[in-house]
């Protein structure tokens, strides 16, 4: 069918001969795949519309190294397509989605031949179509599928990447964080600063007392609200959202296709781990559509995928360069290549519960139609590594086991967690995907979904992540989160009356005391603590003048009861997780909150100076490995 041309590495495609061998046949003959695999692959290709090579390399049948070895044994030669000359005009005639699906990329027309990069030299039918489309014979250049994807997405992905960045802005500019502060917001902020400054000059003590009263009252309400949320959320422990019995009834053939997006950047060390984690998911392999979203300039990760010694179970999607370089932009881009009915996002180091996807599928079937997202709890597998990981575990247990269920129960907008949120694909597209300019895009999406009348549920399943074990790395990550909360707050508070109209008073107050209060609390906390320490250490009587008796009473209540209640809720949360050894660590929370404050100030600074900058968190620093056998019992 193909013969070697004088130009090394190029093969002329001969359409006069009938195709006799397909790639799966070659691989089977050479013992790389079994006969059963051949049947399964052929059947899957027929039902899914995916090319054989795509299935072979991305659904765990053969490693790229073996694939290459086999074709080399067959006499084929591999070329690096990235070094080839390209003609954009020729390339643009192909849709990127087709290239992505078939792994065939026309590069240029040379000497009357259409030079085409292919990953599967035996894909006769596709090449015939190309000859027909371009009206000239085809010369094929065998190359790695990853190179085709890299080149294809880089050169043809502009349309999609622009959509990924600007879709929300074009559709709903009010919800886009492209503008951090609106004019009205700036006027209000500067007016308040001016008013406070002037008042301090005119009457320092009275102004300070008023500020004190406002801060104390704010803290008081915020603490009461959080306690109430925690108690409400803890009730969910009494019910199993999806029971084991329900899971047993699930029929594999009835399960929908599930897309898993894995946005990564320089996570080359985690790729192997990632595959192990994904392989243990209890979900039919053919119904999984796993996309590893790699940035165009992330050669490290791309090469790590290329160098894998074992079969991969994900497809690579290369995200072309476009500012802002954020995770939501990558995820939005990935949406255009997804096939699933449901879609979820995991980080590279995530270890989801094995039955998580099944539980989500069952849960979606049980819920009314307006539930478009299911959030799973997040927790950490390296919790006992050091102080930071312990505190982080305490915090996450409290956040995902108590706070978010509380919000959901009280029908208050839920700020989604960074990963393990499972969406109905169509609804996600309808919402315009994630805001690429928001650095906590999930939290923002949760609010937007709620504003459109959609609901978010929580399911009794956990994804274990790697807790940040390095202080500076932690502060980087946290500063991004807090900056994102500030962005989310600012964007939704552009028009408060409209927001009230959309989410109601309860939602509005919940939003203010949850999303708005979180950064403010961390910003104020060190100031109040400093004031208190000065009062205690230096016995400064002047401080008393700015604390009238009843304000002092509220302040002491906040300091003592507030701290204790939040510490207590942390204790209960880890108790629920059966992490008994962590309970005493919750007493150290006040020190941990100081780290939050540092991150909050960093986040505030970045909000003003570089709002869309994505503070990258380094993963894979932990020396602890997740062992599924030692995982705490399911709750």
DSSP 336-399: TT---SEEEE--TT-EE-TTHHHHHHHHHHHS-TTEEEEEEEEEES-TTSSHHHHHHHHHHHHI
**Residue 235 touching other proteins (CB under 8 A):** yes
Structure token digits, residue 351: 């270890």
For the bound state, the minimum distance from the C-beta of residue 592 to other proteins, rounded and expressed in Å, comes to 18
Short-list 366, 370, 390, 367, CA closest to 380: 390
How far is residue 136 from each of residues 31, 234, 301, measured CA to CA in Å? 36, 68, 37
For the bound state, the minimum distance from the C-beta of residue 579 to other proteins, rounded and expressed in Å, comes to 9
Among the listed ranges 168-176, 229-237, 378-386, 428-436, the one in contact with other proteins (CB under 8 A) is 229-237
Order of all β-strands in the sheet with 288-295: 315-319, 288-295, 258-264, 342-345, 421-424, 371-380, 455-465, 351-352
For the bound state, the minimum distance from the C-beta of residue 586 to other proteins, rounded and expressed in Å, comes to 9
**Residue 583 touching other proteins (CB under 8 A):** yes
For the bound state, the minimum distance from the C-beta of residue 556 to other proteins, rounded and expressed in Å, comes to 7
Query: Binding residues for other proteins, how many (CB under 8 A)?
Result: 22
For the bound state, the minimum distance from the C-beta of residue 384 to other proteins, rounded and expressed in Å, comes to 12
For the bound state, the minimum distance from the C-beta of residue 549 to other proteins, rounded and expressed in Å, comes to 5
**Between 400 and 522, CB nearer to other proteins:** 400
**Residue 148 touching other proteins (CB under 8 A):** no
Short-list 514, 526, 484, CA closest to 617: 484
Half-sphere exposure of 154 (CA within 13 A, CB side): 15
Q: Give the number of other CB atoms < 10 A from CB of residue 407.
A: 24
**Residue 369 touching other proteins (CB under 8 A):** no
**Between 550 and 605, CB nearer to other proteins:** 550
For the bound state, the minimum distance from the C-beta of residue 577 to other proteins, rounded and expressed in Å, comes to 9
Short-list 26, 8, 16, CA closest to 121: 26
Short-list 285, 259, 428, 264, CA closest to 360: 259
- Reduced to 3 states, what is the DSSP secondary structure of residue 419? coil
**Residue 234 touching other proteins (CB under 8 A):** yes
What's the CA gap between 41 and 62, in Å, rounded? 12
Cα of 109 vs its chain's centroid, Å: 40
**Residue 193 touching other proteins (CB under 8 A):** no
**Between 116 and 223, CB nearer to other proteins:** 223
The three-point CA angle 422-427-429 to 5° equals 100
For the bound state, the minimum distance from the C-beta of residue 457 to other proteins, rounded and expressed in Å, comes to 19
For the bound state, the minimum distance from the C-beta of residue 432 to other proteins, rounded and expressed in Å, comes to 38
**Between 35 and 627, CB nearer to other proteins:** 627
x/- mask, other proteins, residues 542-581, rule CB under 8 A, reads -------xx--x--x---xx--x---x--xxx-xx---xx
Site residues for other proteins, 261-280, by CB under 8 A, read none
**Residue 384 touching other proteins (CB under 8 A):** no
| H/E segment holding residue 294 | strand 288-295
DSSP state of 622: -
Q: Helix-strand-coil percent breakdown of the chain, rounded to 5? A: 60, 10, 30
Site residues for other proteins, 45-64, by CB under 8 A, read none
The three-point CA angle 122-123-128 to 5° equals 120
What's the CA gap between 421 and 443, in Å, rounded? 11
Q: Which of 194, 584, 608, 634 touches other proteins (CB under 8 A)? A: 584
**Between 371 and 568, CB nearer to other proteins:** 568
- Reduced to 3 states, what is the DSSP secondary structure of residue 457? strand
**Residue 228 touching other proteins (CB under 8 A):** no
**Residue 588 touching other proteins (CB under 8 A):** no
Phi, psi of 316 (to 5 degrees): -95, 130
x/- mask, other proteins, residues 474-493, rule CB under 8 A, reads --------------------
For the bound state, the minimum distance from the C-beta of residue 234 to other proteins, rounded and expressed in Å, comes to 4
**Between 575 and 613, CB nearer to other proteins:** 575
**Between 16 and 630, CB nearer to other proteins:** 630
**Between 539 and 549, CB nearer to other proteins:** 549
**Residue 110 touching other proteins (CB under 8 A):** no
For the bound state, the minimum distance from the C-beta of residue 217 to other proteins, rounded and expressed in Å, comes to 16
Site residues for other proteins, 9-38, by CB under 8 A, read none
**Residue 308 touching other proteins (CB under 8 A):** no
**Residue 537 touching other proteins (CB under 8 A):** no
**Between 447 and 572, CB nearer to other proteins:** 572
**Residue 231 touching other proteins (CB under 8 A):** yes
For the bound state, the minimum distance from the C-beta of residue 366 to other proteins, rounded and expressed in Å, comes to 22
Q: Give the number of other CB atoms < 10 A from CB of residue 79.
A: 16
- Reduced to 3 states, what is the DSSP secondary structure of residue 108? strand
- Whether a cis peptide bond, with omega within 30° of 0, leads into 243 is no
- Reduced to 3 states, what is the DSSP secondary structure of residue 467? coil
Contact 376/463 with Cβ under 8 angstroms? yes
**Between 212 and 487, CB nearer to other proteins:** 212
Applying CB under 8 A, which residues contact other proteins? 231, 234-235, 237-238, 549-550, 553, 556, 560-561, 564, 568, 571-573, 575-576, 580-581, 583-584
């Amino acid at each position: 069918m193909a013969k070697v041309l004088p130009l090394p590495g190029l093969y002329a495609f001969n359409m006069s001969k009938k195709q006799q061998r397909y790639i799966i046949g070659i691989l089977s003959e050479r013992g790389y795949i079994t006969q059963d695999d051949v049947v399964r692959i052929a059947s899957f290709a027929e039902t899914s519309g995916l090319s054989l090579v795509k299935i072979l390399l991305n659904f765990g049948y053969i490693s790229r190294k073996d694939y290459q070895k086999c074709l080399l044994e067959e006499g084929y030669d591999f070329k690096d397509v990235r070094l080839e000359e390209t003609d954009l005009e020729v390339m643009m005639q192909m849709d990127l989605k087709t290239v992505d699906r078939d792994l065939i990329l026309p590069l240029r027309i040379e000497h009357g031949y259409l030079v085409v990069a292919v990953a599967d030299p035996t894909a006769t039918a596709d090449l015939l179509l190309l000859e027909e489309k371009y009206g000239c014979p085809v010369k094929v250049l065998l190359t790695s599928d990853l190179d085709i994807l890299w080149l294809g997405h880089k050169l043809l992905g502009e349309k999609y990447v622009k959509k990924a960045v600007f879709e929300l802005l074009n559709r709903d500019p009010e919800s886009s964080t492209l503008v951090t502060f609106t004019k009205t917001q700036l006027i209000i902020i500067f007016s308040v600063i001016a008013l406070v400054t002037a008042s301090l000059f005119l009457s320092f003590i009275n102004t300070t007392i008023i500020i004190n009263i406002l801060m104390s009252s704010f803290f008081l309400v915020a603490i009461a609200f959080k306690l109430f949320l925690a108690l409400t959320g803890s009730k969910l422990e009494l019910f199993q959202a999806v029971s084991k019995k329900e899971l047993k009834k699930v029929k594999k053939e009835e399960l929908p296709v599930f897309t898993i997006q894995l946005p990564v950047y320089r996570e080359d060390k985690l790729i192997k781990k990632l595959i192990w984690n994904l392989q243990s998911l209890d979900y039919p392999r053919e119904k999984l559509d796993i996309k590893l979203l790699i940035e165009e300039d992330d050669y490290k990760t791309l090469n790590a995928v290329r160098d894998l010694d074992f079969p991969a179970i994900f497809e690579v999607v290369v995200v072309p360069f476009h500012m802002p370089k954020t995770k939501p932009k990558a995820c939005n881009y990935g949406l255009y290549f997804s096939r699933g009915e449901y879609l979820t996002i995991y980080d590279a180091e995530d270890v989801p519960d094995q039955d998580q996807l099944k539980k989500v599928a069952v849960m979606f079937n049980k819920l009314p139609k307006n539930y478009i997202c299911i959030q799973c709890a997040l927790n950490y597998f390296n919790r006992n590594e050091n102080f930071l990981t312990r505190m982080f575990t305490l915090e996450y247990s409290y956040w995902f086991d108590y706070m978010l269920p509380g919000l959901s129960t009280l029908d208050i907008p839920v700020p989604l967690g960074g990963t393990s949120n499972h969406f109905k694909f169509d609804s996600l597209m309808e919402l315009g995907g994630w805001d690429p300019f928001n650095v906590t895009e999930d939290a923002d999406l949760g609010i937007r979904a709620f504003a459109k009348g959609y609901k978010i549920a929580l399911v009794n399943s956990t994804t274990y992540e790697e807790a940040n074990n390095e202080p500076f790395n932690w502060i980087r990550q946290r500063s991004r989160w807090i900056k994102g909360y500030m962005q989310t707050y600012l964007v939704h508070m552009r028009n408060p009356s409209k927001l009230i109209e959309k989410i109601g008073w309860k939602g509005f107050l919940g939003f203010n005391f949850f999303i708005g209060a979180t950064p403010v609390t961390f910003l104020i906390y060190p100031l109040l603590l400093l004031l208190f320490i000065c009062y205690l250490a230096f016995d400064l009587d002047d401080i008393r003048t700015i604390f009238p008796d009843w304000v002092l009473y509220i302040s002491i209540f906040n300091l003592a009861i507030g701290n204790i209640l939040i510490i207590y809720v942390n204790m209960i949360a880890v108790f629920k997780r059966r992490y008994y050894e962590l309970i005493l660590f919750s007493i150290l929370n006040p020190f941990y909150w100081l780290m939050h404050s540092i991150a909050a100030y960093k986040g505030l600074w970045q909000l003003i100076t570089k709002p869309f900058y994505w503070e990258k968190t380094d993963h894979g620093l932990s020396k602890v490995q997740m062992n599924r056998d030692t995982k705490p019992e399911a709750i």
